[in-house]
Amino acid sequence: MGNGPDIHELQTIEHDVIVIGAGGAGLRAAIECSRQGLNTGLVCKSLLGKAHTVMAEGGMAAAMGNVDSRDGWKIHFRDTMRGGKFLNNWRMAELHAKEAPDRVRELEEWGAVFDRTKDGLISQRNFGGHRYPRLAHVGDRTGLELIRSLQDYGVHSGIHVHMECTALDLMKDGDRVCGALAYWRDTGRFVLFRAKAVILATGGIGKAWRITSNSWEYTGDGLAMAYLAGAELLDLEFTQFHPTGMVWPPSVRGTLVTEGVRGDGGILLNSEHKRFMFNYISPRFAPETAASEEEANRWLAGDKSARRPPELLTRDEVARAINAEVKAGRGSEHGGVYLDIASRLPAEVIKKKLPSMYHQFKELAEVDITRQPMEVGPTLHYHMGGILVDAESQMTTVPGLFAAGECGAGLHGANRLGGNSLSDLLVFGRRAGIGAAEYIRSLTVSPQVNAEQVQAGIRRATDILNRDSGTNPFVIQDQLQDMMGKNVGIIRTKSELETALGELEKFKAEAARVKAHATSQYNAGWHTALDLRNLLIASEAVAKAALTREESRGAHTREDFPGERDEWLKYNVIIRRGRDGEMVVEKRERKPGPAPLVEIANSKIEDLESGKVGADYK
Amino acid sequence: MAERTFRIWRGNKDGGEFVEYKIDVGPGWVVLDCIHRIQMQHATDLACRWNCKAGKCGSCSMEINGKPRLGCMTRMNSLPDGPITIQPLKTFPLVKDLVTDVKWNYEQNKRIPPFKPKARNADGTHRMMQEDVDRVQEFRKCIECFLCQDVCHVLRDHKAHDQFVGPRFMIRLASLEMHPLDTEDRVEKMRKEFGTGWCNITRCCTEVCPEHIGITDNGIIPMKERVVDRYFDPIAWFLGKVFGKK
Ligand SMILES: Cc1cc2nc3c(=O)[nH]c(=O)nc-3n(C[C@H](O)[C@H](O)[C@H](O)COP(=O)(O)OP(=O)(O)OC[C@H]3O[C@@H](n4cnc5c(N)ncnc54)[C@H](O)[C@@H]3O)c2cc1C
Ligand code: SF4
Ligand code: SF4
Ligand code: FES
């Protein structure tokens, strides 16, 4: 396919709707589309069943009340808002809390086998920021159960799966979306998907950082494609650093250690063997957090009058505390802190409850977690920010373009609670499917693909191969990760963010000269080069948003603007592409939340539980 | 950092050869780290699948010094000194380098009649006791690395892909048949279409499973017995006679 590709020779596949991404969100969206009678295509970069969702460990949050009957959707909603520092989209947080239990039950109906309570119900475990045991789980491999159940159900519901196929660009007819250009990894050939609607479910952007729990797939493709297609992006500065990633050996630095370890009683210790989290309890959470080790232990033993241990504070708080301990010189041998479960539970129980953590440390770090503490430190894990969507339908600001799962935004605000992602995928994956079906039913004419857009996309991709010489894509990616870790890390300052933006200009220039050698068949270098554009757009957008938000809230910490500023609670940071291709940042005023929801979110827990607040709101 | 030598299969369906690479290996590295370093320094177009780098997704299956293993869970210090040979899975058609075409496996999964649950209780729940789902959960740990499929001689040597679904899908069948809520009956298909009789219990699949699933003893043998209860399978019949039923 030379320089002037003829689009009539191009392989073309037509569907009513094409879902890009086959993690939990994409699969659930595709299943819904199919149920709504749409001819549905599902595209993913890897093999089916290998998306990020498969790695999720701890569980999926849903207020079913199986373990503690005091739980209910309003408490889940309140926890989500508080965890997100009140920047969440009110309606999304409400829908999520209300609908998650049904999505769990539906998964069971499709064959998922969750761990059970003594009464034979779906068991639920404790997690950071969740007031009651709320996470439906299967040991520490919940994501595998979720994705496999969806996959096994999905392949029997008439979805057309296109595996190892990477979307490059969205196609538009006027302001509407009308398909996507993609390539097959195994051959390097291009394929055009024509569709009346496109659902993005491409996950996050973790590969912009070196120390991350994310895989090679997380290069922000959906975010960048949506941006280039004109969609608005929301609150990108909120990138979650999970407090517990592995720190040793260097080759596994960043690999996740599930929060389930702390949920099941694990404690954090510094080099002086002090349980330091008691020193980092912020006023917002103090009334609901244990004041002493003795109380924390009673809570763990099931005493309902005791309060939760501080290790289960929200992720932003725990990550910052670990960061501060290490900075103060009280870190572990390799620059983390200790996570101890060995002294808390019998070896057999640890192996039963946390089998894959046991396995992971044994095989990768030669550490036996039933006898030794783990060394852990913060790792980039999740993107709360993402593509701006309508709360009900998940439609973006581009007609016909939808987004769900981690690439979308709104539900989690400034910080996501553990377990709220898996439930997010199912609740909003389904809603995106319904949204797309309604949109398609409302269309009067089918949008048409424009040949020039297709040719431009193909040319951009083939130039990388055809160039005589150029930079090694792996080297650029590596240097970018270093730079982002240094300048757009867990603690941020104006000068570092400005440095990052300056550096990014150089990276962009370098990426324009990137060269991949050999043929287009399954060529790792070419794939990495193609992903660079997206990774750079995502990196720049995060840095710009982070520079704009002059306060510290949730996962976004500005050393030069400490603490939450009430003024900033009134704003979202929106990013979109300007007329001349420049990146535009806008500080946009938020709509106030509906009064009953505001009241529930801000209530004292006793008042909510006694019905003094929110009882009439259904 | 110590220098190690790798012999990696490079090529596609039209042919190929082993190519030698030398790199410095850092502390704690696994084979997948080495492949990534080789990609960066010597062979940017080297094809290799991976995702999680923690033994959770089953993407990085390959044959390391002749053994089917996960590249991300094979520590360099567990391998003997001397050059390390890395090849793609042999049982599936080669795409390029270390990547094979595993679509056949996805087709087998589609042939298996799906889960068909019984009705919910009056209170809207399904009740199942933990001890009744332990076995099914063991099978559901499968990460679809297809290492068991690679090593099973029925597929690897006899190429009976059109007659036997292989160990991975035998335990998929077992996970459905033993699911306390399932109401479908797959026994006839197991014998006639999925080829239960082909397995002669060599246990090679169980040996390579990175999830330590008791594929043969816990999954395949009980399924063979279900078939035998209805039809005749000489091997299961013999086992039943000699060892008694499980
Ligand atoms: C180690 C780990 C543990 C976690 N544990 C938990 C947990 O216990 N509980 C919880 O709630 N959350 C957890 N999370 C978070 C959660 O797993 C993820 O946020 C979630 O799975 C994302 O799902 P998704 O459907 O949005 O995307 P993913 O599952 O990441 O899927 C993205 C899909 O998009 C495809 N894709 C991307 N770009 C393209 C492109 N250009 N063309 C075609 N396809 C493309 C990919 O191939 C993939 O199929 C964890 C995350 C990690 C990394
Ligand atoms: S036990 Fe059966 S399925 Fe497993 S490798 Fe041997 S013949 Fe194949
Ligand atoms: S049964 Fe074991 S070896 Fe076979 S595919 Fe599953 S995890 Fe891999
Ligand atoms: S990369 Fe996931 S199992 Fe090896």
Q: What is the CATH number of the domain that holds B15?
A: 3.10.20.30
| pLDDT tens per residue, range A47-67 | 999 999 999 999 999 999 999
Evaluate if residue A135 carries a pLDDT over 80: yes
Cα-to-centroid distance, A145 and ligand 3 (Å) = 15
* Same structural domain, B92 and B50: yes
- Which among A76, A262, A320, A492 is annotated as catalytic? A262
Question: CB A437: neighbour CB atoms within 10 A?
Answer: 22
Domain span including residue B31: 2-100
| pLDDT tens per residue, range A377-415 | 999 999 999 999 999 999 999 999 999 999 999 999 999
- In ligand 1, the atom with minimum distance to the C-alpha of A219 is 38
Report pLDDT for A403.
Answer: 98
Residues A252-273: b if buried by 16+ CB within 10 A, e if exposed = bbbbbbbbbbbbbbbbbbbeee
Question: Chain B contacts of A528, Cβ < 8 Å?
Answer: 44
Question: Chain B contacts of A360, Cβ < 8 Å?
Answer: 54-55
Alpha helices in A379-419 (DSSP H): none
Minimum Cα–Cα distance from A48: chain B residue: B106
Report pLDDT for A612.
Answer: 94
Ligand nearest to the CA of B58: 4
> How many Å lie between the alpha carbon of B86 and the closest alpha carbon of chain A?
17
Cβ(B59)–Cβ(B50) below 8 Å: yes
CB of B211 sitting under 6 A from ligand 4: no
> How many Å lie between the alpha carbon of B75 and the closest alpha carbon of chain A?
7
A242 given a catalytic annotation = yes
Taking the C-alpha atoms of residue B118 and residue A465, their distance in angstroms, rounded to an integer, is 55
Report pLDDT for A38.
Answer: 98
Reported as a pLDDT band with limits 50, 70 and 90, residue A9 is: confident
Coil, strand or helix at A177: strand
Evaluate if residue B234 carries a pLDDT over 80: no
* Same structural domain, B146 and B27: no
User: Last residue of a domain, which of B43, B75, B100?
Assistant: B100
Report pLDDT for A1.
Answer: 40
| pLDDT tens per residue, range B13-51 | 999 999 999 999 999 999 999 999 999 999 999 999 999
Cβ(A395)–Cβ(A389) below 8 Å: yes
Report pLDDT for A442.
Answer: 97
CB of B158 sitting under 6 A from ligand 2: no
Evaluate if residue A292 carries a pLDDT over 50: yes
Task: Tell how far CA A17 is from the center of its chain.
Answer: 23
Residue spans of the domains in chain A: they are: 244-379, 452-587
Question: CB B132: neighbour CB atoms within 10 A?
Answer: 15
Evaluate if residue B245 carries a pLDDT over 50: no
Architecture of domain A452-587: Up-down Bundle (1.20)
The number of helix segments (H) and strand segments (E) in chain B equals 10, 7
Reported as a pLDDT band with limits 50, 70 and 90, residue B246 is: very low
Evaluate if residue B239 carries a pLDDT over 80: no
| pLDDT tens per residue, range B79-126 | 999 999 999 999 999 999 999 999 999 999 999 999 999 999 999 999
Taking the C-alpha atoms of residue A193 and residue B16, their distance in angstroms, rounded to an integer, is 34
User: Last residue of a domain, which of B100, B131, B155?
Assistant: B100
Report pLDDT for B240.
Answer: 63
Evaluate if residue B233 carries a pLDDT over 80: no
* Same structural domain, B225 and B124: yes
Question: Domain containing B238 — which CATH number?
Answer: 1.10.1060.10
Reported as a pLDDT band with limits 50, 70 and 90, residue A440 is: very high
CB atoms B54 and A255 under 8 Å: yes
* Same structural domain, B29 and B144: no
Tell me what the pLDDT averaged over chain A comes to: 95
Q: Which residue among B44, B136, B176 places its CB closest to the CB of A524?
A: B44
* Same structural domain, B212 and B111: yes
Reported as a pLDDT band with limits 50, 70 and 90, residue B244 is: low
Pocket test for ligand 3, best of B104, B172, B213 (most atoms within 8 A of CB): B213
Sheet-wide strand order for A176-184: A11-14, A190-194, A176-184, A165-173
The 8 Å CB, 24+ separation contacts for A454-459 are A454/A5, A454/A7, A454/A10, A454/A171, A454/A181, A454/A192, A455/A4, A455/A5, A455/A7, A456/A169, A457/A168, A457/A169, A457/A181, A458/A1, A458/A5, A458/A10, A458/A181, A458/A190, A459/A3, A459/A5
Interface of B with A in 38-57 (CB under 8 A): 39-40, 44-57
A142 touching B (Cβ < 8 Å): no
* Same structural domain, B117 and B232: yes
CB of B35 sitting under 6 A from ligand 4: no
Taking the C-alpha atoms of residue A397 and residue A572, their distance in angstroms, rounded to an integer, is 15
| pLDDT tens per residue, range A225-258 | 999 999 999 999 999 999 999 999 888 999 999 9
| pLDDT tens per residue, range A449-472 | 999 999 999 999 999 999 999 999
Ligand nearest to the CA of A51: 1
Ligand 1 proximal residues by C-beta, below 6 Å: A 20-26, 43-46, 51-53, 55-60, 142-143, 166-167, 201-203, 213-214, 217, 221, 256, 382, 405-406, 418-422, 425
Compute chain A's Rg from CA coordinates. Answer: 23
Tell me what the pLDDT averaged over chain B comes to: 94
CB atoms A108 and B126 under 8 Å: yes
The residue with greater pLDDT, A507 or A140, is A507
Cis-peptide into A249, omega within 30 deg: yes
Q: Which residue among A161, A365, A474 places its CB closest to the CB of B39?
A: A474
Evaluate if residue A372 carries a pLDDT over 90: yes
Taking the C-alpha atoms of residue B82 and residue B63, their distance in angstroms, rounded to an integer, is 16
Alpha helices in chain B (DSSP H): 31-41, 103-111, 130-140, 147-151, 153-156, 167-177, 187-192, 204-208, 221-230, 234-243
Reported as a pLDDT band with limits 50, 70 and 90, residue A419 is: very high
- Which among A242, A320, A492, A558 is annotated as catalytic? A242
Fold of A244-379: Flavocytochrome C3; Chain A, domain 1 (3.90.700)
* Same structural domain, B134 and B88: no
Q: What's the domain count of chain B? A: 2
CB of B12 sitting under 6 A from ligand 4: no
Evaluate if residue B235 carries a pLDDT over 60: yes
CB atoms B130 and A115 under 8 Å: yes
Classify the C-alpha dihedral A358-A363-A369-A373 as positive or negative: negative
Cα-to-centroid distance, A566 and ligand 3 (Å) = 53
Report pLDDT for B232.
Answer: 67
* Same structural domain, B162 and B65: no
**What percent of chain A is predicted at pLDDT more than 70?**
99
Question: CB A202: neighbour CB atoms within 10 A?
Answer: 37
Report pLDDT for A284.
Answer: 87
* Same structural domain, B202 and B217: yes
Evaluate if residue A356 carries a pLDDT over 90: no
Report pLDDT for A8.
Answer: 72
| A473-A476-A481-A485 Cα dihedral, nearest 10 degrees | 180
| pLDDT tens per residue, range A521-538 | 999 999 999 999 999 999
Q: Which residue among B58, B117, B140 places its CB closest to the CB of A109?
A: B117
* Same structural domain, B109 and B49: no
Cα-to-centroid distance, B177 and ligand 3 (Å) = 18
Element (H, E) at A199: strand A197-200
Cβ(B8)–Cβ(B38) below 8 Å: yes
Report pLDDT for A2.
Answer: 42
User: Last residue of a domain, which of B77, B100, B123?
Assistant: B100
* Same structural domain, B161 and B216: yes
Interface of B with A in 72-111 (CB under 8 A): 73, 75, 95-97, 99, 101-103, 106, 109-110
* Same structural domain, B84 and B27: yes
Q: Which residue among B52, B96, B133 places its CB closest to the CB of A55?
A: B52
Pairing of strands B2-12, A267-269: unpaired
